[in-house]
Amino acid sequence: YAEWLILSTWWIGDNWSSLMQSVGASEKVFRLMDLLPSKQLSSKGLKLEKLGGRIQYADVSFSYPSRPTVPILGRLNLTLNPNEVVAIVGLSGSGKSTIVNLLLRLYEPTNGQILVDGVPLTELDIRWFRERIGFVGQEPRLFRMDISSNIKYGCPREVSHEEVVWAAKQAYAHDFIMSLPGGYNTIVDDALLSGGQKQRVAIARALLRHPSILLLDEATSALDAESEHYVKSVITKVSRDSRTKRSVVIIAHRLSTIQTADRIIVMENGNIVEDGKHSELIEKNGLYSRLARRQNDNLE
Ligand code: ATP
């Protein structure tokens, strides 16, 4: 999870002491230092007028540097279109997170390239690019400060209380925040919020930045049914409301949350084996339909 940790906190910059106060921070934090070759990521490169959100993986192959002989992705070709809601599914280890790691340039493809609005990702100013991506990891990091500051955290501009409330409402977090003793001024500690509530605060944090692309790594651990419902509603709201429309990429572990996605990409051993809408993939009777049946069996 080291990658996800830095993604949830990359805007901290050099402020490691603040990072270390993060609720639940562990020694894993230090592994992050290996990940980002900072020289390579200095703010040089292109800043586009606007991030449209067309992402193309062109013949992308990849092995992790620590295991260069183990191919993880083999000549992956995938295009994500602006404003599309795309879910990536597949068994554990099939390469879902790796696809996202490469998009964020936590690693570079071994072969092939990623294009963003037609421009090679390597030519873009990486800070500029990442600022336009809202990332919500599996285990969102909240900090020992009030809820409002947690939502504002990392936002590159000054934001008003009204905007914070707007983001919280978008993320279905406003009502539970208002029911806390101090409302938005309640200090977050480990025991204050459920997993689902933390995730909604993290979604509010991501939405406050008005990202062009929202990346969601759904929690693997079962959320309660209510939280699952909210996550599903957020995805629908964010993707259907014309004022907030943006690309959404969700790594989904529970297929119930992504049935309405525009496209579902099914991964197996580093390859895309199916790509289509829920109903199409069910009809196809392949891996997706087997995964869906298996989850239903487990639920019953
Ligand atoms: P999950 O559903 O469990 O999150 P995933 O589909 O997201 O799995 P990835 O995390 O992309 O799968 O992993 C794909 C493969 O790459 C796995 O075999 C995994 O062990 C390996 N892998 C992942 N991260 C690293 C890393 N930092 N170094 C070496 N190998 C890694």
Residue of 72, 100, 271 best suited for mutating to test ligand 1, as the one with most atoms within 8 Å of CB: 72
What is the number of alpha carbons within 13 Å of residue 19 lying toward its C-beta?
19
Which residues have C-beta atoms less than 6 Å from ligand 1?
64, 66-67, 72, 90, 92-98
Taking only the tens of pLDDT, the chain with its 300 residues reads 445 455 544 443 333 344 444 444 443 333 343 344 444 555 678 898 888 889 999 999 999 988 899 999 999 999 999 989 999 999 989 999 899 889 988 889 999 999 999 999 999 988 888 888 888 877 777 889 999 999 998 887 899 999 999 999 999 999 999 999 999 999 998 788 888 888 889 899 989 988 888 888 876 655 666 677 777 787 777 776 666 667 889 998 878 878 888 999 999 999 999 999 999 999 999 999 999 988 876 654
- Residue 112 in tokens: 């092939």
> 106-123 in b/e burial notation, b at 16+ Cβ within 10 A?
bbebeebbbbbbeeebee
Assign residue 105 a region (left: φ > 0; alpha: ψ between -120 and 50; beta: otherwise). Answer: left
- Residue 297 in tokens: 């069996």
Of 11, 36, 9, 4, the C-alpha closest to 107 is 36
Q: What is the ipTM of this complex?
A: 0.97
pTM as predicted: 0.83
| Ligand 1 center from residue 101 Cα (angstroms) | 10
